[in-house]
Amino acid sequence: MTAVLSVRADSSKLPILFIMRGMPGGLIEKTEFDDFPIGHFYAIQQRAWMDSRVWAYYLRSVLKPQVHAPSVLLLDNLDSHVSERGMKIAIEEAGCILAPIPPNATSAVSRLMLVLWHLSSDICVSFGSKRI
């Protein structure tokens, strides 16, 4: 099983997407999904991996309802994330500005993302405090 965890710059968490091993359209999807806990999302993939079909589902079902203003979506270089189809859905349907991380730069960029996240959290708190 793969769990896709997403967080906004203000540290609020999006619903989790659980990707389970099985056949798309098979018994698990047809008979068990209704019994799973509500509030999260579930997908089936033969190896429990993110592929282009599951990525499109994530963008449309999990991310899109959570985007209320122009948002930057940071992407690693997984093929399904940076595919033409995936990028088109993220931009045109979910309303995101894409920021793909260059290949082989994830470890360096992740440290930078942590710094930016902390800075943006401080800015959000500052703006929130001024509104009160």
The candidate with the shortest Cα–Cα distance to 16, out of 36, 35, 46, 32, is: 36
User: In this predicted structure, what is the pLDDT of residue 124?
Assistant: 45
- Indicate the number of domains in the chain: 1
Q: Is the pLDDT of residue 130 over 50?
A: no
User: In this predicted structure, what is the pLDDT of residue 118?
Assistant: 67
User: In this predicted structure, what is the pLDDT of residue 117?
Assistant: 63
Domain residue limits at 91: 2-131
Q: How confident is the model at residue 3 (pLDDT cuts 50, 70, 90)?
A: very high
Residues 27-78 have pLDDT tens digits of 888 898 888 989 999 999 999 999 999 999 999 999 999 998 889 998 888 8
Sheet holding 41-45, edge to edge: 2-4, 17-21, 41-45
Contacts of residue 111, defined as CB under 8 A and 6 or more positions apart, other chains included, come to none
DSSP string, 49-79: ---HHHHHHIIIIIIGGG--S-EEEEE---H
Q: Which two tokens stand for residue 50?
A: 């993110």
Q: Is the pLDDT of residue 14 over 70?
A: yes
User: In this predicted structure, what is the pLDDT of residue 34?
Assistant: 87
User: In this predicted structure, what is the pLDDT of residue 90?
Assistant: 95
Q: Which residue do the tokens 């659980």 mark?
A: 18
What is the total residue count of the chain? 132
Residues 84-114 have pLDDT tens digits of 999 999 999 999 999 888 887 777 777 776 7
pTM for the structure as a whole: 0.78
